[in-house]
Chain A
Amino acid sequence: MSVKQSRKARALNWADDRFGGAGILRTAMNKVFPDHWSFMLGEIALYSFVILLISGTYLSFFFVPSMTEIVYNGSYVPLKGVKMTEAYASTLDISFDVRGGLLMRQIHHWAALFFLIAMTVHMLRIFFTGAFRRPREVNWVIGSLLLILGIVEGFAGYGLPDDLLSGTGLRITEGIMLAIPVVGSWVSSLVFGGEFPGTEFIPRLYIVHVLLIPGIMLALIAVHVLLVAFHKHTQFPGPGRTEKNVVGYPLMPVYMAKAGGFFFIVFGVTVFMAAIATINPVWMFGPYVPNAVGAGSQPDWYMGFLDGSTRIMPAIEFTLINYTLSLNLLIPTLVLPGIMFTLLIFYPWIEAWATGDKREHHLLDRPRNAPTRTALGVMALTFYGILWISGGNDIIAVAFGLSINAITWTLRFGLFILPAIAFVITKRICLALQRRDRDKLLHGRETGQILRLPHGEFIEIHAPISEKEKAKILSKVDIEPLALPPATDRDGVAVPQSFRKRLQAKVSHFYFGDNVPKPSAAEIEAAEHHLQEIAENVEAPSH
């Protein structure tokens, strides 16, 4: 035993002498990670990415990225003798003639859906808890870029098999390119190597899908994860948790075991899904031919919001000095996502400017304690959700026996009305929860025990809340809205008002104007005293 250990130690010393790194490893192994289920969402995304790399590698052994036409003669009878590209035929072969091929394809596709779902939900967690604030703004940007790249990467994969559905998606992509003012036709010719669909696009898309985007994503993921380690993980407020510490488990061995185990869980669930449910049945769609299309042609869910924006956009198109301006595609598929992703990427700075809060934050916000941010988030989600529903308007019409026109008009109005309503409701709920927290601190929690006093009055007994809950509530940071700059100077002379300062003060008021301040230390002390008195009183009459 001792010999074995010393041999291991000798090997490690040998490695340390030549490569160094013992110090870094020690720091890394002693890193502490806090524990919360929502901190695992990013890990689901990471693990899905690994699953995508593994399953994608297997698929690349058999997929032929070529648009050369051949006649299919594989095992799937309904397509026998049909002319198709090698890309599509090899996808059919993977599905029906390669051992484990269909399972791998389905693992790859479900993992892709999970990857984007996990990234989205992870991003929502970061947003609603304020984890994007200083010093993590850059990591937020990297995360946003990963999400955008993930969407593009997923769509590229959806386009590769050259079945009728993916071809329809590419046809719409071509339409979007053509809608770019002035240069649209040239962009499309450049990308497709001439007239759509041409013979060049699938091989090009293949390299984008298996090399270019995954390479960039891998680099960004590495930086993303390293920055998490460098900044240390954020944590939810609780007893003993401050801006200066991290309460949790060390990386080795507890967190490593948990994270490693969770990888196998995610892999297992993905394989389970792939084993029980068909995804992207390309053999049902048939090969892509430009003159065919299927009802209910939708993209995968992460592109659904763009499909939806296109579906509810009124048809506006006109000619301007020899150039056709297709606003019906330009606005919903280029302008709108441009605005949405710009707002997403720059949100940390927008909020920091509006609030004037430039401090470092390692303790997370409870969503209720940032009511305006939470309300803005729910507003954005509602907007996104309506676009998403719009993307499935025909499926909804058929499934529920409704008129597709009625659905479309409802969603057109809903897109502008419902987010506003969602904002107001969310903000009101957050403020109500803040009042409830304040109430809990000052009056304790309701016990549900009713007491009848000697003079006949009924009262409910309130009990002090636990230390843990108290610490959670007290973690709230009250931020005063920025004051308007003075209108006049000392001598009563009007000061030329800076528009920016005034706007900032207005926005700051919008963010924090109706904050419910947490009680002062003196108020809490008085309240505790009062609670004690009640407790004594409650005992007194029982004698």
Chain B
Amino acid sequence: MTKEITLRKLRGHKHAHLVVITFSLLFVAIIWTALSTQMQTAKAAVSTETSVQFGKSLFAEGCSSCHGLQGEGTTDGPSLIGVGAAAVDFQVSSGRMPMATQGIQAMRKDPVYSEEEIAALAAYVATFGPGPAIPTDEQIDYTGADIGLGGELFRVNCAQCHNFAGQGGALTEGKYAPNIDLATPRQIYEAMITGPQNMPVFSEESLTPDEKRAIIAYIMALREVPNAGGLDLGRYGPVTEGLFAWTFGLGILIALAIWIGIKAK
């Protein structure tokens, strides 16, 4: 005699809740995917229109709560009048803006906005007042730049905060100069002309465009040259070397000294 399977019976099954949860999650996931693709296509469509208009809407949505509706600044964020497109491109393309939380300093993270959105935001913010424009591809083309000169300039102007290998360093009160390993040539150039966060602005008088390109060439060369001598130990200098010698080196030596003692018995 076959048992009649009814919904009522199935509902009472001990694994019923698992099945229900799995299907609900799947359902939500499918709806979400469909909706978000729709949103993205919508955005892409708009970006082909006037980019300033698009930037204005993005700004109102994502930036104005801290920087004010006209970019005039509030107690939570500085005024953006006159910062220029370069500052927006640097901050947003490196993921520093929008900030994840209010803090001492904005951290580098994955960018929230797409390239078109960043361009639109930059174009919009540039209308607030004159400021440095996003450097063009020619401006940041460092091929043929003097790497040796770049190194000298890097050591005099950059290393005191960013460390000899660009690994970053501490500033006062929890502020810091970030690690620049991930910075693109454009971001490095923008950082020099806009002076983000605690960084000073390096004007055309203090570092000519050629010198800026030389610095970029040196930073890129440091990344390309393979690390001579083995593990780089973080490129922090003698602190990590000492730590490695005390833990790894002394650890091995003592273990072997004990081993010799045991062997003698």
Contact = CB atoms under 8 A, between A and B. Distances in A.
Interface residues of B, number: 61
Nearest to A268: B256
Contacts of B256: 262, 265, 269
B161 interface: yes
B162 A117 contact: no
A82 B149 CA distance: 7
Interface string A267-309: 0010001111111110111100101111111111100100000
A269 B228 contact: no
A291 B159 CA distance: 11
Contacts of B137: none
B230 A403 contact: no
A117 B246 contact: yes
B159 A273 contact: no
Contacts of B242: 113, 300-301, 304
B201 interface: no
Interface string B114-152: 000000000000000000000000000000001111011
A35 B225 contact: no
Interface in B238-265: 238-242, 244-246, 248-250, 252-254, 256-258, 260-261, 264-265
Contact of B156 (A265, A269, A283, A289): A289
A226 B232 CA distance: 41
Chief secondary structure at chain A's binding surface: helix
Interface string A71-86: 0100011111110000
Nearest to B179: A398
B228 A283 contact: yes
Given A394-B170, A397-B174, A294 B164 contact: yes
Interface string B159-179: 111111101111111101100
Nearest to B147: A78
A41 interface: yes
Contact of A278 (B147, B169, B233): B233
Interface string B170-193: 111110110000000000000000
Nearest to B153: A292
A121 B235 contact: no
Contact of A82 (B148, B233, B253): B148
Contacts of A254: 264
Interface string A114-144: 1001100100000000000000000000000
B236 interface: yes
A355 interface: no
A262 B250 contact: no
B44 interface: no
Contact of B253 (A81, A269, A398): A269
A105 to B, nearest CB: 8
Contacts of B264: 35, 249, 254, 258
Contact of A293 (B159, B171, B221, B239): B159
B222 interface: yes
B34 interface: no
Nearest to A80: B148
Contacts, number: 209
Nearest to B264: A35
Nearest to A406: B174
B218 interface: yes
Nearest to A392: B239
B169 A277 contact: no
A398 B174 contact: no
Contacts of A283: 228
B175 to A, nearest CB: 8
B30 interface: no
B200 interface: no
Contacts of B245: 110, 113-114, 117, 273, 301
B229 interface: yes
Contacts of B75: none
Contact of A398 (B151, B165, B168): B168
Contact of A277 (B161, B230, B238, B253): B230
Contacts of B163: 294-296
A6 B241 CA distance: 55
A81 B256 CA distance: 47
B231 interface: yes
Interface of A: 35-38, 40-41, 44, 72, 76-82, 95-96, 102, 106, 110, 113-114, 117-118, 121, 164-165, 249, 254, 258, 261-262, 265-266, 269, 273-281, 283-286, 289, 291-301, 304, 391-395, 397-398, 401-406
